[in-house]
A = this chain, B = another copy of it.
Amino acid sequence: MSETNSYELYYWPTIQGRGEFIRLALEDGGATYVDVARLPEERGGGGKAIVHILRSDSELRPPLAPPILKVGTRVMSQTANILQFLAPRLGLVPEDEESRVWAHGLQLTVADFADETHDTHHPIAVSLYYEDQKVEAVRRSELYVAERMPKFLKYFERVLRQNHAGKGQFLVGTAHSYVDLSMFQILSGLGYAFPNALSALEPELPLLFALKVRVSARPRIAAYLASERRIPFNQHGLFRHYPELDRHGDQPNGISGTSKA
């Protein structure tokens, strides 16, 4: 359909962040799209392009925050919502409603996991610098590494294992879907932010780690990851690497004896 030539993604131009889940779907689906804020300002790009949409007082359906997808005159927001819209158009989800509801529920759990991961470095407020909430971040991260990260990852491993039809390879049904792409992104981000904690869990997550390798080898994903379009992980995004928040080598499960900071 003609709309596939007019996808415009609005997301912060210097980070992967939540926008990356959408970039991966657009790339893997072979969509033609414009990553608007990465264009130069003189061509309508830059962060200004996003702020312009957010501040519009004439927009009938104003979004609160990026990522935002424009398709012709339509404007939509919320990462999982955008993915749900794109997936059938890009061949990234099965046709039947039951599979789509299941896929979307998984994607929302991915979103919860991403939110909790973000809050390890911002447990008090997004308006404060990390340095101004570091004490709380250390305390939160210790429990995140010990409890939440294993809980989410073991859940997704279990989803793969119990999906007999997919032979442990796919989160949804018998074929690759947008949820697999998002899981690849989560695992990549955790490998950057919490390398020690993720390594310690790896033996318990064979299906997830195999999925990550398989997704990274998909031709369009491999090409994307090798391109300049893939922004490197950095200390401004959703996943940030602060060594003091990661698991320490001598901790059996991430909990030290003096955690009550």
Chain B positions within 8 Å of A125 at CB level: 140, 143-144, 147-148
Chain B positions within 8 Å of A123 at CB level: 123-124, 136, 140
The tally of residues in A whose CB lies under 8 Å from a CB in B reads: 46
CB of A139 closer than 8 Å to a CB of B: yes
Residue of B whose beta carbon sits closest to that of A108: B78
CB of A164 closer than 8 Å to a CB of B: yes
CB of A52 closer than 8 Å to a CB of B: no
- CB pair A163 B105 closer than 8 Å: no
CB of A80 closer than 8 Å to a CB of B: yes
Chain B positions within 8 Å of A144 at CB level: 125
Of the listed residues A64, A80, A155, the one surrounded by the most CB atoms of chain B closer than 10 A to its CB is A64
A134 to B67, CA, bound (A): 33
- CB pair B77 A98 closer than 8 Å: no
CB of A27 closer than 8 Å to a CB of B: no
Given A125-B140, A140-B124, A140-B125, is A62 in contact with B159 using a C-beta cutoff of 8 Å?
A: yes
Known interface pairs A74-B98, A77-B109, A112-B115; 19 further A-B residue pairs with C-beta atoms within 8 A, sorted by A's residue number: A59-B162, A60-B164, A60-B165, A61-B159, A62-B159, A62-B162, A64-B155, A76-B101, A76-B102, A76-B105, A78-B104, A80-B108, A81-B101, A84-B101, A123-B124, A124-B136, A124-B140, A125-B148, A128-B143
